[in-house]
Amino acid sequence: MKKRITVRSILFVGGGITLLFFSLIGRIFYLQVVQADWLNESAMAQWQREEWMEPQRGMIMDRNGQPLAYSGPAYTVVAVLSEKAPSRVENPMDTAEKLAPILQMSKESLLSLLSKKDRYQVELRPGGWKIDESKAKEIEALRLPGIYLSKSTKRYYPNQAFLSPTLGYVDKEGEAKMGLELMYDSILRGTPGKGVFLTDRSKNVLPAGVENYQPAVDGKNLRLTVDERIQHFAEQALDDAASRYRAKGMMVLVADPNTMEMLAIASRPDFDPNQYTQITDYRNLPLQVPYEPGSTFKVITLAASIEEGVFHPDEVYQAGRYESKVIRPAIKDYYNNLGWGKITFRQGIERSSNVGAVILGFERLGKEKLFQYYKKFGFGEPTGIDYPHEGVGKLPPPNAPPRDIATTTFGQAITVTAIEQLRAVSAAINGGKLLRPYLVKEILDPKTGKVLTENKPVVERQVISPETSSEVRKVLEGVITSPEGTGRGYAIEGYRIGGKTGTAQKPDVNGSYSRDKFIYSFVGFAPVDNPRLIVYAVVDEPDMTAISSSQVVGEIFRSVMKNSLQYLQIPPDASLSSPQNPGGKEKAASLLPESQTAPQLLTIPTFVGEMASSAKQKALELGLKPVVLGKGKKVTGQYPQGNEEVMAGQTLYLVTDGEVLMPDLTGVSLRDVLALSQLLKINIKTNGSGYVTSQTLAPGKPIAEGTEIEVSLRPLSVLSPNGQE
C-alpha cells in the first residue's frame, strides 16, 4: 500500500515537473518568438536615450569681419513651485518684487505665475525668456529660493538699429523672419545633430553605449559687401538730419558703381532687432518701397538722348513751358513757371529744366524708344539684389495719356525703388554696364574661415556706350560747378563731384500733385573721371519749407561722401585748389527762406606746434570750444584738423605732449568718436549709432597708445512711419 502511494506520488511530482518544464518552454517560446519584437522595443525604450543637438547659427559680418549678428548664450528664468521639490519658491510676493525691475514685468503678472498650484515649475515669460548674461548675473546675485536659470542660445545684434531693416532678425524661437537672416536662413541655420545612447536606470551612458552619433553641422558665416565705417557715416548723417527736422522717411545708399557692391544702406524709420516685438514698420524703404523719383530720373533721359545722338549740349531751346495738341495742360519748368528764356540743353540739365527733358525724351526719342531705354536700365523689374521680397517700381502702361508719358522724362508718372534708381544711375556713369546689386560678398566656413562661395559682379547688359557714359559724367559735373546749377550746394572741397538733384511733388489721393508734400533727393558720384563711390540720399516730407533739395539733403550727402572718400583714402584732385563752385556757400545761403538763417562757418587754424595755453585762447576768441587732452605744454595734435570748416560752437580737441587724458565723450557723434580714436591712437569699440551715452573709461583718466575702451551710442530720435517720435 505504501509502495503504491509512493509510486503515485512520484508520478504526480514527475508529471508536475514535466508540465512545468513544457510551460516554461512554451513561455520562453512565446517571449522569444511571439513577443520578441515588442519586448525588444520596450527594453530599448528604457535603455536608449535619444538626443538632438542644435547647430550654432552662422555669424553675419561686415566686409572687414566686424560682427553684425551672432548667436550667443541666453538664459530662461524658471521658478520651481512644487512642495515636493527640494528647493521651491517660498515667498512669491517677495520674489515677484525683486524680479520685476530686472525682467521688466509687472509684480502682478509675476505673482500670478509664481502662485500656480498645479505646476511643478513655470518659465517666467515673456521678460524672463532668453535673457542675456548681465541680467542672468543680477538674478543669480539675489539667491532667490526656487529660481533657476536654464541655459540656451539666442541671436544678438550688437549695434542695435544699425543696418537693421537689411539684416532682419531671428526671433527667440529661432525662426528667421525678414532681411538677410531670412534670405540666407538655410545657409546660416546649419543642420541639427542626433545621438542615440544606451544608458543605465539612472540614464548614465554605458561603456561603449554610443549606438549612433551624427554631430550637428554649424551654419556658415556671411561676409557682407557693407562696410561698417561707411554704414556708420550713413547712419550718423540720418541721425543728424533727424535732429534738424522730422520726416516721414529718409534713406541713404552707398555703392561702388563699378561692381554694385552695396557699401551702406541706411533708412528711417528703423528698429532694434534685439527688441523685435516693438517693430511697427517692417519695410526696408530703399529695397521695397516704390515712389516717384523726380528730377534725378533726368539722368536716364540724358543718357538715352546722348546715346541716340539727339542731345546737343550747346543747342538752344525755349525753356519755361511745353504744350502741343497732345500735351495739355502745358508742362512747365519749376523756376517761376516761366523758365529762363532761351538756354542750351546743357544748361537745361544743370538747371533741371522739365521742358528740356520732355523735348529730348518725349519729342525726339519718342515713346517707343524711350520705353526701350527705361527697360534697358532695369526699370519695372527686380534688380535681383539678394534680399527677400524686393519691391519693384512701375512704368506707365503703353496706352497711358501722352502727357503722362512725357512727364516720365523728369520722374513723374513712373515709380522706382531707391535700389532701382541707384543701379540705373550707376550704369549711366560707370561705362554703361547695368550690374546686379548684391549684399553678400562671401560665404565662409565658421571653423576655418575658408571662403566657400564668393559672389562677384554680374553684368546684366551694356545699356549705353563707354563714350556716352563719359559724356553723361561731364554734363552731370556741370550740375555742381555751374553758377546756375541746382547742385552747387553739394560741392565738396578738393573733389570733382557729379550728380543730379530731385524735388518731387507727391501725388495726392485724388490723383493730382500736392503743393506742400515733397520728396527731396540727390544722387552723386566721385571722382568724376573714375567714379569710386555713388551716394543716393532721399528725404520724404520733412517738416520744413525748402526751395532747393540741398537745404534738405545737402548735409546728408556731403557728410557721407566726404567721410567715405577720406576713409577709403581716395585723394583729392590736385587740380582743384578751391571748391568746385567758388562762392557756392554764399549762393547756397542766399537760397534759404527769410525765416532761416545760414549757420556761421569758421575755418579752424592749425594749432600743432603752438603752446597749449595760447591755442586755447585763440580758439575761444574764434568762437570754438577748446578741450585740452594732456598735461603737456605744446600742442601735438588736433581735431578737427587745420583748415577745416566747422560751425561756430564746435568742440576743438587739442592733444599735448606728455601724458594724454581721456576726454568726456558724452553727446559726441559717432563720426567724431572715430576721428578721436585715430587722433589719440586708441581702440574704441562702438555699440549702436548716434551719440555717445556712456563710456567704459572715465573722463580725465590717463590713456596710453593702444588703450581699448567701449562706448554706447543712441540716436537722438527714431521716427515711426508717420514721422512721430
Active site residues: 295
| Virtual torsion, Cα 383, 385, 390, 394, nearest 10 deg | -10
> What's the residue count for the chain?
725
DSSP assignment of 505-568, as one string? EEEPTTSSEEEEEEEEEEEEEESSSS--EEEEEEEES-SS--SSTHHHHHHHHHHHHHHHHHHT
Yes or no: say if 490 and 558 are a contact pair by the CB < 8 Å rule: yes
- Cα separations (Å) of 228 from 41, 122, 148, 225, 688? 56, 42, 38, 10, 11
Residue 419: which residues within 8 A CB-CB, separation 6 or more?
Answer: 253, 286, 287, 383, 385, 390, 437
- Cα 558 to Cα 581: distance, rounded to the nearest angstrom: 14
- Cα 480 to Cα 475: distance, rounded to the nearest angstrom: 10
Q: What angle do CA 163, 166, 172 make, to 5 degrees?
A: 90
Category of 189 on φ-ψ map: left (φ > 0), alpha (ψ -120 to 50) or beta: alpha
Determine which helix (DSSP H) or strand (DSSP E) holds 662, and give its type and residue range: none
Residue 13: which residues within 8 A CB-CB, separation 6 or more?
Answer: none
Strands 660-661 and 702-703 come out as antiparallel
What residues does 74 pair with on adjacent strands?
Answer: 152
DSSP assignment of 560-616, as one string? HHHHHHHHTT-PPPTT-SS-SSTTHHHHHHHTS-TT--PPPEEEPPP-TTSBHHHHH
Q: How far is CA 552 from the centre of its chain?
A: 22
DSSP assignment of 434-466, as one string? EE--BSEEEEE-TTT--EEEE----EEEE-S-H
**Coil vs helix vs strand at 391:** coil
Yes or no: say if 491 and 579 are a contact pair by the CB < 8 Å rule: yes
Around Cβ 356, how many Cβ atoms within 10 Å?
31
- Cα 431 to Cα 467: distance, rounded to the nearest angstrom: 7
